[in-house]
Amino acid sequence: MTMRETLRYIAGYVLGGTIFLFLIPFGLYKLSGYDNLCTDLVLLQPGSVRYILSACCFIPGAFFMIWSNIFLFKAGKGGPAEGMGVSVSPRTKRLVTTGPYRYCRNPMVLGALLIYLSIVIFLNSLTALSALLIFFFFGITYLKLSEEKRLEKGFGDEFLEYRKKVPMLFPGIRFNKKAVKNTPLPV
């Protein structure tokens, strides 16, 4: 790896870490302060169940984020740091379909979503939950229109076959109507 590639990886992880690990959680925290202005409703009743649910989302979320980043770097020989058409770190050189990528095509996004959900549950905020749902909708739209198109262009039929077999985000859950129609019913 050249010095330039190394610097791009570092820059990519610093930028991505700043946005995904600090700015978005901070935004959710700030939004949670508006709950008492809008309504007296809470997401969950006070008590330890909220903390247990939060931990049950955070732990697998952090695991998926770390595992998928390491796996992408080692198996794909590239990084995830690209956004809005701007490449910060070198792109992956191989399509990664094993490790966390055998469960879903976007395990980093799944991990981030679980971490953000854990923050929302911990903060007990309907306002932050609403913002997270909107963020999630736009994130999925971006993945479908940009990231998946880039992977299709870069990896062709290999990616198309992978996309047929592996769900986009939630392991074991497929939203593709074509795949559901073509799946034989159990006898």
Q: Examine residue 175 and state whether it is found in any structural domain, yes or no.
A: no
Q: Examine residue 60 and state whether it is found in any structural domain, yes or no.
A: yes
Q: Examine residue 30 and state whether it is found in any structural domain, yes or no.
A: yes
Q: Identify the pLDDT of residue 69.
A: 85
Q: Are 85 and 141 in contact (CB under 8 A)?
A: no
CATH of the domain at 50: 1.20.120.1630
Q: Examine residue 66 and state whether it is found in any structural domain, yes or no.
A: yes
- Residue 85 lies in domain: 3-170
Q: Examine residue 181 and state whether it is found in any structural domain, yes or no.
A: no
Q: pTM (2 decimals)?
A: 0.79
Tally of domains in the chain: 1
Q: Examine residue 185 and state whether it is found in any structural domain, yes or no.
A: no
Q: Examine residue 180 and state whether it is found in any structural domain, yes or no.
A: no
Q: Identify the pLDDT of residue 161.
A: 95
Q: Identify the pLDDT of residue 186.
A: 42
Q: Are 88 and 19 in contact (CB under 8 A)?
A: no
At residue 74's C-alpha, the angle toward residues 68 and 76, to 5°, is 80
The more confidently predicted of residues 168 and 12 is 168
